[in-house]
Amino acid sequence: MMAEEKVKKQMDFREVSTCEATIQMLQKAASEGFETAFQRAADMKACPIGADSACCKHCFMGPCRLNPKDPYAKVGVCGATIDTIAARNFARMVASGCAAHTDHGMSMLDLFREVVHGKISDYQIKDEEKLRNVAASIDIEVVGRETMEIAKDLYQELERTYTQVEGEIPFAKRVPAKTLETWRKLGIVPRGAMREIMEIMHRSHMGVDQDYENIVKQCSRTALADGWGGSMVATEISDILFGTPKPLVAGVNMGFLKEEAVNIIVHGHEPNLFESMIASANDPANIEKAKAIGAAGINLLGMCCSGAEVLGRHGVPHAGNFMSTEAVIATGAVDAMAVDVQCIMQALAKMSECYGTKFFTTNPRAKIHGAMHIEFHEHTPRACTDKVVEMAIERFQNRPGRVVIPQRRDMGIHGFSHEYVNYMLGGSFRGSYKPLNDNIINGRIRGVAGVVGCTNPRVRQDYVHVELVKELIRNNVLVVQTGCSQIALAKAGLCKPDAAVLAGDGLREVCETVGMPPVLSLGSCVDNTRILIACAEMVRVGGLGESIADLPVAGAAPEYMSEKAISIGQYFVASGVYTIFGVTFPTIEGTKFHNLLFNGLEELGCGKWDFAVEPHEMARKMIAHIDKKREALGIMGKKERKLFSMEDRRAMDAM
């Protein structure tokens, strides 16, 4: 590359990220001539037609492009309208997102089957109580039975989540009666994930379903097979096998890399790989090998979602969210990065080559050109993870360049599960969501918001997550988090109990009484199902309406980038939750398809989609929805108890 060109590509990384460590490493990489997704995003403007979902390439009479500015002016060669085209595109995003989560869930279930049948010795059932509770929740007899008997029945039942061709998926039994009634009326109770995904792929083929309303029904059915199906199986089985998270103090950020130790990062989504890597990193024989070549030890960190899981479950430090995965390599301190599936940028292979990091793929589903593939098998997991350790030690010995580690370490409390929220608020003898509901009814807590999802180089990294959450807690909205979003908030210090000072009076009082932060981190993206179960519990306990759609709750994915996020959004909406996305949204305002997602679904008893880019605008919309639900429940309270509104704040700021 010409020096002149290099200069042209230098950008102000403060404009694209608020993460200090990431900015520092982006600058380092750029000064060394290596580009990252931030530069590639700046160089490649998003296609405006694709961004609005106004193009179709479902057959070879096309691809066809409609005009997003005048969407009804043209139709595709086959006559497909903008509503058909956008709905079909949306359907395929849901299919892909649902497939990713359910395939992950199925891997966990495969592992569970082998454990239950005694065919695997490296993993065991760690949480018998959770096993019994999950089994009981879907009507499996538990009283007086052996754990392994129950486990076998649970496996058989949960397999239906995927393979069943007729009937309702097992976890439909956990859905509040009125919500389930709405689904039945609409014909959207999932049968089995494989069937729903197959049907949606069929229906979105050229010349099949060309009625956007009918397509959206199958979007809901498929997405629900993710939320109350595959993702829920992933969470519950992971808790059973690896332990249900309980709050613990843990740290995030790149400062947890250690120059003097062998640093290994696991990046991806499947906790079975990570669990085995923990065992390998803690094995005295491996530690000895590291010490023998002069390292202080083996230092293991997580990234993205499996990182978020082990952060909460075991307190393993987390190096950063999605948009920091390239930057962290630029430290030069990462001796090995092992990845499995989902959200792994292909660019990591190149970046690793630039910095001499050993980069490994481990899953047969996801090989990357330029990466070394060491396949992970759950029957012999250590064969893979010990090899990764060995290669990392080798790289430590021959570190090619200078190591620069940004000195940022942010401690917080992680590992809230829906079970723990129950226990924390209800006391150890009688766990219950009643205190949460009571505090919502009396107005100390205005409502609950789930803020989740990715980071995306098209918006300033972490900025929207952090500003949105600050505004929500300031307005007494309790925030629960998963995925890359919670890492953004952890870096901003909001996962600490002291962050309660940033909350409104009511929420602060509750946090201080219980000793909890105003932002609760729940785990990875599949752990969004913990939020679904918490919602179901809030309905069951009473006082906040009869269906999830009645609750004063809202969801947001302000910096999303993944198709999985679309599936998650759709299952929250179908479950009854108002859900707002940022960045961009794949519809054209004013079209019938857009109106169905943004208004029509709510009239059918579901939640609704919404969109905003700016965090304060997003917060305002979420709070307005929460207030609308409070009003409908008759718990808005007297005028003088009306909580701090955005208008009040603006007025105060202006003073």
Strand partners, 555: 450, 579
Any residues with CB less than 8 A from the CB of 545 and at least 6 apart, and which? 539, 551, 629, 632, 633
What's the rounded Cα separation, in Å, for the pair 363 and 350?
Answer: 19
Token couple for 112: 């569970």
Residue of 192, 317, 453, 506 interacting with ligand BF8 (CB under 6 A) = 453
80 binds, among ligand BF8, ligand SF4, none (CB under 5 to 8 A by kind): ligand SF4
Residue of 245, 447, 450, 483 interacting with ligand BF8 (CB under 6 A) = 483
Any residues with CB less than 8 A from the CB of 1 and at least 6 apart, and which? 33
Residue of 48, 63, 167, 543 interacting with ligand SF4 (CB under 6 A) = 63
Q: To the nearest whole angstrom, how small is the minimum distance from the Cβ of residue 541 to ligand BF8?
A: 29
E strand or H helix that includes residue 335: strand 334-339
Tell me the window of 77-85, 281-289, 389-397, 615-623 that interacts with ligand SF4 (CB under 6 A). Answer: 77-85
Of residues 268 through 297, those in contact with ligand BF8 by CB under 6 A are: 269
Residue of 68, 71, 76, 227 interacting with ligand SF4 (CB under 6 A) = 76
The residue (of 63 and 370) whose beta carbon lies closer to ligand SF4 is 63
Residue of 50, 62, 356, 497 interacting with ligand SF4 (CB under 6 A) = 62
The SS3 of residue 144 is coil
Amino acid identity, residue 356?
G
Q: How far is CA 300 from CA 350, 559, 595, 602, in A?
A: 22, 27, 47, 45
Token couple for 96: 């892909």
Q: To the nearest whole angstrom, how small is the minimum distance from the Cβ of residue 481 to ligand BF8?
A: 10
Residue of 16, 17, 58, 228 interacting with ligand SF4 (CB under 6 A) = 58
Q: CA 270, 274, 279: angle at the middle one, nearest 5? A: 150
Indicate whether 203 belongs to the interface with ligand SF4 (CB under 6 A). Answer: no
Binding-site size, ligand SF4 (CB under 6 A)? 14
Measured on CA atoms in the order 349, 316, 366, 454, is the torsion positive or negative?
Answer: negative
525 binds, among ligand SF4, ligand BF8, none (CB under 5 to 8 A by kind): ligand BF8
Tell me the window of 11-19, 71-79, 246-254, 375-383 that interacts with ligand SF4 (CB under 6 A). Answer: 71-79
Question: At residue 250, what are phi and psi to the nearest 5 degrees?
Answer: -150, 165
Number of Cβ atoms within 10 Å of the Cβ of 624: 14
Residue of 564, 594, 608, 625 interacting with ligand BF8 (CB under 6 A) = 564
Residue of 23, 64, 372, 494 interacting with ligand SF4 (CB under 6 A) = 64
DSSP class per residue in 440-485: HHTTSS-EEEEE-----TTS-BTHHHHHHHHHHHHTTEEEEE-HHH
Binding-site size, ligand BF8 (CB under 6 A)? 14
Indicate whether 78 belongs to the interface with ligand SF4 (CB under 6 A). Answer: yes
Residue of 484, 489, 495, 533 interacting with ligand BF8 (CB under 6 A) = 484
Residue of 34, 38, 322, 578 interacting with ligand BF8 (CB under 6 A) = 322
Q: To the nearest whole angstrom, how small is the minimum distance from the Cβ of residue 94 to ligand SF4?
A: 18
The residue (of 48 and 207) whose beta carbon lies closer to ligand SF4 is 207
343 binds, among ligand BF8, ligand SF4, none (CB under 5 to 8 A by kind): ligand BF8
Of residues 38 through 57, those in contact with ligand SF4 by CB under 6 A are: 56-57
Q: CA 33, 35, 38: angle at the middle one, nearest 5? A: 140
Residue found under tokens 């913990």 = 530
Indicate whether 77 belongs to the interface with ligand SF4 (CB under 6 A). Answer: yes
The residue (of 302 and 332) whose beta carbon lies closer to ligand BF8 is 302
Of residues 145 through 184, those in contact with ligand SF4 by CB under 6 A are: none
Residue of 46, 47, 49, 61 interacting with ligand SF4 (CB under 6 A) = 61
The residue (of 92 and 313) whose beta carbon lies closer to ligand SF4 is 92
Q: How far is CA 306 from CA 233, 234, 303, 391, in A?
A: 15, 12, 7, 21
Query: Which stretches of 9-92 are assigned E, i.e. beta strand?
Result: 55-56, 64-65
DSSP annotation of 366 reads: B
The residue (of 204 and 456) whose beta carbon lies closer to ligand SF4 is 204
Q: To the nearest whole angstrom, how small is the minimum distance from the Cβ of residue 567 to ligand BF8?
A: 10
Residue of 525, 549, 596, 626 interacting with ligand BF8 (CB under 6 A) = 525
Strand partners, 437: none
240 binds, among ligand SF4, ligand BF8, none (CB under 5 to 8 A by kind): none
Indicate whether 68 belongs to the interface with ligand SF4 (CB under 6 A). Answer: no
Binding mask 544-563 toward ligand BF8 (x if CB under 6 A, else -) reads ------------------x-
Q: To the nearest whole angstrom, how small is the minimum distance from the Cβ of residue 142 to ligand BF8?
A: 32
**Closest of 542, 351, 349 to residue 440, by C-alpha:** 542
Q: To the nearest whole angstrom, how small is the minimum distance from the Cβ of residue 48 to ligand SF4?
A: 18
Beta strand 334-339 with 358-361: parallel, antiparallel or unpaired?
parallel
**Closest of 520, 558, 309 to residue 412, by C-alpha:** 520
Indicate whether 454 belongs to the interface with ligand BF8 (CB under 6 A). Answer: yes
Lay out the sheet containing 318-320: strands in order across.
372-373, 358-361, 334-339, 262-267, 298-303, 318-320, 248-252, 410-414
Query: Which stretches of 223-326 are assigned E, i.e. beta strand?
Result: 248-252, 262-267, 298-303, 318-320
Residue of 151, 194, 341, 343 interacting with ligand BF8 (CB under 6 A) = 343
* Count of residues making up the chain: 655
643: left (phi over 0), alpha (psi -120 to 50) or beta: beta
Strand partners, 481: 451, 521
Q: CA 479, 483, 485: angle at the middle one, nearest 5? A: 55
Residue of 131, 224, 278, 305 interacting with ligand BF8 (CB under 6 A) = 305
Residue of 304, 372, 469, 597 interacting with ligand BF8 (CB under 6 A) = 304
Q: To the nearest whole angstrom, how small is the minimum distance from the Cβ of residue 226 to ligand BF8?
A: 12
The SS3 of residue 68 is coil
Number of Cβ atoms within 10 Å of the Cβ of 609: 22
Q: To the nearest whole angstrom, how small is the minimum distance from the Cβ of residue 84 to ligand SF4?
A: 8
The residue (of 140 and 479) whose beta carbon lies closer to ligand BF8 is 479
245 binds, among ligand SF4, ligand BF8, none (CB under 5 to 8 A by kind): none
Binding mask 80-109 toward ligand SF4 (x if CB under 6 A, else -) reads x----x------------------------
Which residue sits closest to ligand BF8, CB atoms considered? 454
Residues that bind ligand SF4 in the complex, under the rule CB under 6 A:
56-59, 61-64, 76-78, 80, 85, 206
Residues that bind ligand BF8 in the complex, under the rule CB under 6 A:
269, 304-305, 322, 342-343, 453-454, 483-484, 524-525, 562, 564
